[in-house]
A and B are shown apart, each in its own frame.
Chain A
């Protein structure tokens, strides 16, 4: 008697709801909706089906005799039964008293992305995602409500399916595996993570199986990456003008003279850049019945860059099982396994030669062969080979990082009594990474770009990390007299993590074809000994936590949380810290006196206070350190081990490399958060506003001690106090929803954060060496103020400062008498000129849907703040050093005929000036930008056509990513992208006033735009 019912589940905005569970009421029989929100189910006549989906109110529908249903789910904000994931459990949205943002699967899927961080960018108020690299597989800086720690990490805690994701390379996660992301922002929400909560917490839930027929889903796309903006450099004629006006005395190379005669110009970027490709293929199967559900998924992602040799590949495999054992026990397993292969991330990319090779030099000789060393000066001729050799590897190099991670979580849940549950979570995490490098020896037949005139070299770095987490959770739920609802959670957990690496490097491998595979097959003479190093690091964390949620009549809410963390990282006596939190909420719209206000569909006030801290002190930090590290390069890198020799006998040396600090203490933050959630006009407009104020105490900080202290490196200690305060506004609006199915909706978020250093306990008001200034943000930039360029008409005035026309004109701010003294001096005329803190930032997403079509675009904006362009700092990057030796980026430099105030004259840069560091002032630009991040056009085929081909749903889409920077003063000034390419000094020489946390721009793989075409299929 069963009949086949087809339905489509849509939300209030008329958009399809994929993944909704459809169950025949009172049975285990059911299915889930596909990516177009469609389901098919064989049901007896006149049955009731229940449709549920996270974030929406459950709905019962009597099938009746209909065969085709349209079911509109209402967001639970109306019902306020939306379930959100919070730490160690879930809560109904209406019960949440902390500041939590949910990003659901649909929002995550909206834009096809390479990784989770790109998916989150611009999605949530208070969440700032900044890229730190343009190479495939590069990471990102994620900040929730700004920075609270100077020295410790400011990275939020990642929790994947309840288990902390240590060593969190977010690239390890396949975004297609993610079902939802919750961002816990305020202390009342994060205090349950205690010592790791102060940077906010990102809870990631992966997809699990759903009851119903087995379903096969395919999501995939293919795309092309193109260089969006090339770096502007001088062309042949402009370069010649520069070189003739500079101090360069080397003359032109014969090839350059030929170019001058022929009017030939080489655009090295055009010759080098190629189209990159990106593809993402995901297949998953899932289903379940009778309380058991399962899912399997596999993914393949590959991206190649616009520069040869750079690519990133991710293979992922996932499986989940959830099963009921009897009536009281539930067990489950989730295993996520990924292998990443990154090529081309370790060696220096060829951007420097691409920007600085002479445009007068041809790339090829008269026979069409690549010129070996096409430099315009003899100094570079030996070391700089033609970058176009990189287009053909020819067994010349291997630059590969292979990373494997197996992240597993198991749980067992026992229903002890009504409302009383015990749950054990076990997280097992294993990660392994091998970094392989090989550079072949150079010879005339097969020139080796990376080893010009050198023999071969190879290295292998093996890293292994493993850890486990054990969590014992007891929860008790009770409703008394229908109105008092109590929920108690108790936790005892223990976590341990170990990492270790071994690095081996060897020169003079017998044959190039051996590559790095056997470093023993190599010249064993004394002069080319292998280099071996290693390191070990372990930590443990022991925690107790209790939480009480109380709600009265769904109107008054109270949450009390306490946590105690004990960490191995601190010295005895300081190992433990307590983290209390309290928060309260008032669902005002549930009050009887509010019921009459028709336009107000929801109003809730929240207030919370809590303490959290930052435990990112490296293991062993309190012990001090005596080691072989000589302070050169990174610890463990080539040449970083103190050695000496007495004649032929080579010995090691040990020195004090870090001071012990047994009083090292927790850095902790007290946060107050006040928020309001609202829904207007029958929830056509929903949103929230949050204000917060966070004070951080015992700031952990690595002091740069004066050299005369006799201690190299930084001294990690607790030094002071700072604050972060901010405002976050999130709005969702259903603008238009017509009867014939046209909808337009908008999500908007705007947020700002103000960071300020309040106190330094070591007697400083400003610690210039460590770039810390009381009353200023942590990202303050301290330097001279550039007023412009000294002009010919100002010759006499310039001379008073020891300058000539064409020099940078600096502001004379003060002097020994507290007044401008006619002398520019580092002690009186440098000051805080700005910071990289944005005035405000935000994102807006607009969606349009009509019939099967949907169109959306995402815009991301950031206003205010300074960026540091090391490209423009002559001695930082050598890409703007106008000395004529090499080409440079195209800047507007001063000449008597071109009285600009932009860049100084080439001769100014190459003579001594009273302030030699004035050139750093050339690198500061307004960091504001507005970017169109993506445009997406999709089409859902109608169920009739879909069924014709045996599918359940078919959606195809076209996407353009990062097509347009709508506004950016930096780009107007010649930059290629206003977002940072890294942190700290990335230049050749350190400009000296950059902290390691400063976001900086250097010459790196240029920004790209991508054109993608993809399909989501469900069978």
Chain B
């Protein structure tokens, strides 16, 4: 009978599982999968986009954690900051386990080196995301620095923060360097496995972020340049190239194009494999609702064509759920995209025209224009004067300083997904987090930081010239537009004065504007501004709804209250970021 008291579980694995080849592989799979928590969920999208110069909040934001983030009335109890905090450390600890146990795993050394390279890349990346949001974060989770923690540790190894912050960046750079040496050069054509290319890209980014920080090293910009330039100069080796048409980069169905170095993968139309129980209702966890968050309210009274009292557009899969969380600021459509003609990227990033899906409104048949958001008020007035049956909405109606966003505004289309079952559903598309065009801009920025702005100019021009392309343009027209993209307009839209871009234009602010044009809404803007110490300045300039409250302390998020509540030190405030 004594033997009967020995437990023999069938389905419960112990930590030793990670010492087997399949355990190591399945652990790495889980590390990849953890990125889904951040890229697509409401919390992740808020942490990475909200409260920047690009994005203000929509009418649907009525208090709660969303308004706190969007307006910088940010307390330590905010729920969205938990998205990274609650998930990244578990993945870091798993990476620690895999890296620590790998020498014991009996398997092919080459394959093992790749798995360890993946684990170190992902550990670095989870740290990178945290450091950019919170500053110093523990390297010792309870089992020693970068060691797998199996203890029920209730402390918080964050002090002193300045020294830890330096170590944090060093860890990130060491891990990414290892990854850039041990991973395959290029990713497979049809999948987003980690590669040297992705590692070099993130390494360049990490060096740049560090270069603006208290942990900066004099060589950082140079190192960033080296990493980025390695990819740009060896595109064949790294299996990457710029696409001809900007419109194709984020196009649905073209997710595995060579310009994308790394995406967080999901399977289109397959919520269960995407770890989503209720695809229509899940906003958090691993759901990707990015497409709905950026969507405007094409079904509201403000969008009803005059005199009809009916909506010409049903809520359809094509147009998605209008969650109205992220609304472009006037900076986006008036300043960054002042030129919407030569630069194809505005039209290829935003939806400004909706087609009718029904015959509710007299004079509008299915497929006809239902709503039109115009490029300028003047254009809008001209169209209205023609007496069109559809509703014409002018830029002055997108946004009101007194009440930040109206219901209709240019809606980001980069995350569109037509393979969903229902209009309210989240998306199953891979979520790009590194692409070659950004590598160009990182290299250019590194050159500027390294006081070689002349090296930046050709890289910036390469990206800008590509943006002139639109399908169907004659060669002459294309070349004319490419010419304009090598220039900037010092006049007005109506009366342009074109001047060639020169070395003197190669400034951080120009790069940030160019990043908006190239990467608008691609979930990197908030850390981009905060880590470059540009958040307060540009928010005060461009985001009226957040300008009143934003302050230097906001370059870091508060340490979540739940963390402080869970640690066994009664003096909790010493762990909090300044000002919170």
Contacts and interface: CB of A to CB of B under 8 A. Distances in A.
Contacts of B564: 827
B15 A619 contact: no
Given A542-B5, A645-B273, A647-B188, A765 B570 contact: yes
A816 B574 CA distance: 11
A527 B269 contact: yes
Contacts of A638: 272, 277-278
Interface string A650-662: 1111111001110
Interface in B1-50: 1-2, 4-15, 17-18, 23, 25-27, 29-33, 36
Nearest to B422: A453
A710 B62 contact: no
Contact of B157 (A567, A632, A708): A708
A536 B157 contact: no
Given A643-B275, A654-B26, A708-B563, A624 B15 contact: yes
Nearest to A249: B59
Nearest to B141: A710
A71 B113 CA distance: 91
Nearest to B153: A709
B280 A250 contact: no
A762 B421 contact: no
B127 to A, nearest CB: 12
A894 B188 CA distance: 61
B62 A910 contact: yes
B220 to A, nearest CB: 27
Interface in A517-576: 526-529, 531, 534-536, 538, 540, 542, 566-569, 572, 575
Contact of A642 (B12, B33, B71, B300): B33
A61 interface: no
A883 interface: yes
Contacts of A572: 6
Interface stretch (A2-10, A360-368, A378-386): A378-386
B9 A619 contact: yes
A710 B96 contact: yes
B4 A711 contact: no
Contacts of B570: 765
A647 B13 contact: no
B566 A625 contact: no
B137 A708 contact: yes
Given A640-B277, A647-B256, A711-B152, A652 B29 contact: yes
Interface in A618-636: 619-620, 623-627, 630, 632-633
B90 interface: yes
B453 to A, nearest CB: 40
Contacts of B30: 630, 642, 644, 653-655
Contact of B265 (A630, A645, A715): A645
A909 B64 CA distance: 8
B62 A711 contact: no
A992 interface: yes
A3 B152 CA distance: 80
B321 interface: yes
Interface stretch (A105-113, A121-129, A283-291, A766-774): A766-774
B77 interface: yes
A710 B92 contact: yes
A640 B286 CA distance: 10
Contacts of A650: 267, 270, 273
Size range of the chain B interface in the assembly: 35 or more
Nearest to B155: A706
A705 B12 contact: no
A374 to B, nearest CB: 16
A708 B156 contact: yes
Contact of A632 (B12, B192, B286, B568): B286
Contacts of B10: 536
B89 interface: yes
A437 B519 CA distance: 44
Contacts of B270: 526-529, 650
B502 to A, nearest CB: 43
A892 B403 CA distance: 27
Contact of B277 (A633, A654, A765, A769): A633
A454 interface: yes
B424 interface: yes
B27 A653 contact: yes
B14 to A, nearest CB: 6
Interface stretch (A85-93, A308-316, A914-922, A940-948): A914-922
Given A568-B7, A626-B15, A646 B192 contact: yes
B563 A706 contact: yes
A1 interface: no
B33 A630 contact: yes
A645 B267 contact: yes
A710 B75 contact: no
B561 interface: yes
A914 B564 CA distance: 18
B183 interface: no
Given A626-B18, A645-B267, A706-B566, A827 B71 contact: no
Contact of A453 (B7, B267, B423): B423
Interface in B150-174: 150-158
Interface of A is mostly: loop
Nearest to A539: B7
B135 to A, nearest CB: 13
B68 A912 contact: yes
A383 B424 contact: yes
A640 B273 CA distance: 10
A508 to B, nearest CB: 9
Given A624-B14, A710-B90, A916 B75 contact: yes
A637 B277 contact: yes
A659 B94 CA distance: 12
B42 to A, nearest CB: 12
Contacts of B407: 249
A248 B278 CA distance: 27
Nearest to B255: A647
Residue in B62, B73, B75, B561 whose Cβ sees the most chain A Cβ within 10 Å:
B62
Contacts of B568: 762-764, 767
B572 interface: yes
Given A642-B29, A708-B141, A710-B90, A883 B63 contact: yes
Contact of A568 (B4, B269, B566): B4
Nearest to B303: A378
A874 to B, nearest CB: 9
Contacts of B277: 632-633, 637-640
Residue in A566, A626, A913 whose Cβ sees the most chain B Cβ within 10 Å:
A626
Contacts of B94: 655-656, 710
B414 to A, nearest CB: 20
B11 A534 contact: yes
Interface in B392-425: 403, 407, 419, 421-424
B265 A646 contact: yes
Contacts of B335: none
A707 B5 contact: no
Residue in A383, A535, A883 whose Cβ sees the most chain B Cβ within 10 Å:
A383
Interface in B106-156: 137-138, 141-142, 149-156
Interface string B241-281: 00000000000000010000000011111111111111011
A251 B190 contact: no
Given A653-B32, A912-B68, A639 B12 contact: no
B152 to A, nearest CB: 4
A649 interface: yes
Given A566-B5, A644-B32, A647-B191, A653 B26 contact: yes
A494 interface: yes
Given A526-B267, A632-B285, 12 more contacts: A538-B9, A540-B5, A567-B5, A568-B6, A619-B7, A643-B272, A645-B191, A645-B266, A707-B85, A709-B141, A827-B573, A911-B63
14 contacts: A382-B315, A453-B424, A536-B11, A542-B2, A619-B7, A632-B286, A639-B285, A646-B188, A653-B31, A659-B151, A707-B86, A707-B560, A910-B63, A913-B73
